[in-house]
Amino acid sequence: MRVLIQRVSRADVTVEGQTISKIGKGLLILLGVGHGDGEEHAQFLAEKVANLRIFEDEQGKTNLSVLDVKGEAIVVSQFTLYADTSKGRRPSFIDAALPDIAAPLVDRFIEFLRGHGVPTQAGQFGAHMQVEIHNDGPVTIWLEK
């Protein structure tokens, strides 16, 4: 499982002209599910994301988590995080899990993140989404389990 986290001042997700998710300060999380990933990966990464200290404290040091700043999150399924570009010019996505495996694990990740106290919204699995990200910093972190 791969997670690309962006600290945001705000973010939203639109599908077919309708905003389906919108947050202020918090995290925009792009989540990729690969072959062999399971609930234990989702649980581990959700706990890591909830407690990752990437927000600044009063002294400007990154000592605070999304929980500490009472931030929110949006999780967007992103199979392209498993792109293999080692051959040719067209990425291969054979390492990404199929939708019938990936969709439930994305849902479980969201449930685990909410279980840690992070108000969490979601993109729409399999949809063509417009994701507006106001990266704060910018701060972008890659996690893998």
- Give the catalytic positions in this structure: 80
DSSP code of residue 25: S
Distance from CA of residue 85 to its chain's centroid? 22
DSSP string, 53-120: --EE-TTS-EEE-TTTTT-EEEEEE-GGGG-B-SSSSSPB-TTBPPHHHHHHHHHHHHHHHHHTT--E
| Region of 16 on the Ramachandran plot (φ > 0 left; ψ -120 to 50 alpha; else beta) | left
Distances (CA, A) of 87 to 35, 40, 92: 20, 32, 9
